[in-house]
Structure 1
Amino acid sequence: MRTSIIAIFAFLFIFQLQAQELNFTVTINSDRARTQERDIFEQMKSSFEQFLNGRSWTDDQFEPLERIKGNLLITINNMPRVGLFEATVQVQAVRPIYGASYETLLFNFVDRNWTFEFVESQPMEFNRYSHLNNITSLLAYYAYIVLGVDYDSFALEGGEPYFEIANNIVSNAQQSGRPGWNQNPSDRRNRYWLIDELYSSQTTRGVREAIYLYHRMGMDLLTNDREKAYQNILEALKKLEEVNRVQPSSILTITFMDAKSDELGKVLQNAPDSIQAEAKDILLKIDPNNAQKYQDILKG
C-alpha cells in the first residue's frame, strides 16, 4: 500500500514538473539600496523564481526541455523606506530554433517604473481576477506576455488567450494607482501600452504576424529551405514597416527590434543580394538608431 501511495505521489510530482512552462532566472542588482539587510534580496530572488517557475500558467503539457527560458533582471533604484522598493525590470525570453542548437532572443523589454513592497517570508499570492499586490501582478503579467509571444512564434496569433489574461491583469491593477498600469500618454513604454498593442490594437496586429513569419516560417526553415526562409523573414520586416508607417514609434515594433537588431544583420548576411538590399532599406526606416550596425554588416 505504501509503495502504491509513493508511486502516485511520484507521478503527480512528475506531472506537475511537466506542466510548468517557465524556466526563468531572476537577478537582482541591489547596489543602490540603502540597507544593511542584504539577505532580503536573496529571499526576493528565491520567491520570485519560485513564483514564476513553480506553477502552471497554461493547460498545456511542457516537457522539462520545452520550458521557456528567460531572465528577469531587477535593478533596485531606490528604497524610500524599509520594505518599499522602486525598481527597473528587464524581461528577456529565448526560443530554440528548429534543427539547430541556436536560441533566438524572442522578447526583450525594459519596464522602468515598478514599485512594490516586500518583507521577509512574504507569501506570493496571485488571483488572475483581482489585484492582490504589485509583485505578483507584475510577475504574472510578464509570465503571460512571454507565453503569448512564444505561442505567437509557433502559430499565427497563437498567444491570444495569454494576452487576454495579461490585459485583465492590467485592468485589475489600475485600481492600485501604481505607475505602469495606466494609460499615460507621456509614458508609452509601460505595461498598459505594451498589452494594448499586443491585444487590443488592430493597428499593430502586423507585428504579431511578423513574430510568426520571422520565427516559424523563417528561422525554423533556415536549415531545410533557405530560400523560403529568407523570403518569409523579409515578409516579416515588411509587416513591421507597414505598422511603422501607420504608427511610428510603436512600442511593439521597438520591442521586436530590441530583441532582433543584433541577430538580423548576421542572419541576412547569407541572404540573396536582392533580399538583403530590400531588408536593409526597411531596417534603416524602422530602426534608425541601429543604422550604422546594418550599414556595416549588410555592405553587399
Structure 2
Amino acid sequence: MVRFLVICCLLFYFVAPLRVTAQQLDFTVTINSERARTQDQDVFDQMKTAFEQFLNNRSWTDDEFKPEERIKGNLLITINDMPQVGLFSATVQIQTVRPVYGSNYESLMLNFADRNWTFEYVDSQPLEFNQYSFLNNITSLLAYYAYIALGIDYDSFSPRGGDPFYETANNIVANAQQSSRPGWNQNTSDKRNRYWLTNELYNSQVLVPVRDAYYLYHRRGLDLLTSKPEEGYKNILEAIKNVEEANRVQPNSILTITFMDAKSDELCKILKNAPLEIKQEAVAALLKVDPNNARKYNDILKG
C-alpha cells in the first residue's frame, strides 16, 4: 500500500507539470510608463508580471499545444496618464506571429492599436476573469485579445476555424458594455475599437472574404512557397483579391485595415519573387485596397 502511494506521488510530481502544454499563448508584455506621474515604478514591474502570467499560464481552449506551438505575441502598453493612484489611461499595441511551414520565418498575423483603455490596478491585485460576466477592465481586455489572437491563428490553419474564439470575444464585448468604459461600445466616431473589430470578424457577412484570405494567404500560400511555389503565389494572389472584394463592398473597414497593417511590408518582399503576371494582378488589387502605400506596391514590379 505504501509503495502504491509512493508511485502515485511520483507520477503526480512528474506528470502534473506536463499539463502546461495545454496552454496556448506565449506573450511578452512591455509597459512604457514614461508619462505616468508616479515615482513608484515597482507597480509597473508587478503589472507586467501579472499580465504575462494571466495570458500565458491560462488555458484558453481544450486544444492542447506543444510548447513550440504556442502563439507568440507582444503586448505593448503605453501609460498615457495616471490621474490618481491606481487609475491608468493607456494605449495598447498587440502583435502576434505565426511560423511558416518549412522555414524559420514568422509571419506577422495581427498588428492592432487599441487607443483607449482605462483600468484600475494596485499591487498584488488578483486578476479574475469570467467569460460570462464583466469583472474588471483588465482581464476583459487581456482575455479579449487572447481570443482574437487564437481566432486569427485558427483562421489561418482552416477555413473560418476561428469562429468559437470570435464568439467568446463577442460575448466579452457584450458583457463589458455594461461598464460604460471606452472601446467596448458602438462608437461611430471611433471605429478602430474592440467592438468594431469583433463585429467585423464575427458578425459581418460581407467581410467573410477577409477571414478566408487568412487561410488562403497562410496555409495555402506561404506554407507552400517552398514546396509548391507556383500554387503558393496563386493562392496569395487569391487572398489579395478576397480583401479587394471586401473593401469594394465595405471600404476602409477595420478588418481590411488590420489585415493590411500586418501584411503590407511582407507582401512587398514576397511578391518580388513571384511570376510577372502574379505581380501585376497583385499590385493592381493592392493599389485599390491600400492606395496610401502605392509607392511601395509599385516597387514590387521593379523587383
SS in 2 for 1:32: coil
1:279 aligns with 2:252: no
State the distance in 2 between where 1:187 and 1:246 align. Answer: 20
**Residue deviations 1:179-233 (CA, integer Å, cap 9, x gap):** 0000000000000000000000111111000000000000000011100100000
1:13 aligns with 2:3: no
SS in 1 for 2:74: strand
Amino acid at match of 1:59: D
Within 5 Å, give how 1:147-226 maps onto structure 2. 147-226=150-229
**CA positional deviation for 1:290:** 1.4
Whether the aligned pair in 2 keeps the contact of 1:265 and 1:298 (CA below 8 Å) is no
SS in 1 for 2:227: coil
Unaligned ranges ≥5, structure 1: none
State the distance in 1 between where 2:83 and 2:123 align. Answer: 17
Amino acid at match of 2:185: N
Amino acid at match of 2:277: S
Amino acid at match of 2:177: Q
Task: Name the counterpart of 1:122.
Answer: 125
State the distance in 2 between where 1:284 and 1:152 align. Answer: 25
State the identity %. Answer: 68
**CA positional deviation for 1:7:** 2.1
**CA positional deviation for 1:297:** 3.4
Whether the aligned pair in 1 keeps the contact of 2:157 and 2:215 (CA below 8 Å) is yes
Task: Name the counterpart of 1:236.
Answer: 239
**Residue deviations 1:156-199 (CA, integer Å, cap 9, x gap):** 00000000000000000000000000000000000000000000
- Alignment coverage as a number of residue pairs: 299
Amino acid at match of 1:100: S
Task: Name the counterpart of 1:47.
Answer: 50
Amino acid at match of 2:68: L
Task: Name the counterpart of 1:38.
Answer: 41
State the distance in 2 between where 1:10 and 1:170 align. Answer: 40
**What's the C-alpha RMSD, in Å, of the aligned pairs?**
0.9
Give the alignment's TM-score, normalised by structure 1: 0.98
Task: Name the counterpart of 1:2.
Answer: 6
Within 5 Å, give how 1:21-100 maps onto structure 2. 21-100=24-103
Whether the aligned pair in 1 keeps the contact of 2:279 and 2:300 (CA below 8 Å) is no
Question: Runs (4+) of structure 1 moved beyond 2 Å?
Answer: 1-4, 296-300
**CA positional deviation for 1:2:** 3.4
**Residue deviations 1:30-53 (CA, integer Å, cap 9, x gap):** 000010000000000000000000
State the distance in 1 between where 2:90 and 2:43 align. Answer: 15
**CA positional deviation for 1:295:** 1.8
Unaligned ranges ≥5, structure 2: none
State the distance in 2 between where 1:297 and 1:240 align. Answer: 18
SS in 2 for 1:298: helix
**CA positional deviation for 1:264:** 0.1
Amino acid at match of 1:166: A
Whether the aligned pair in 1 keeps the contact of 2:283 and 2:300 (CA below 8 Å) is no
1:248 aligns with 2:242: no
State the distance in 1 between where 2:156 and 2:61 align. Answer: 16
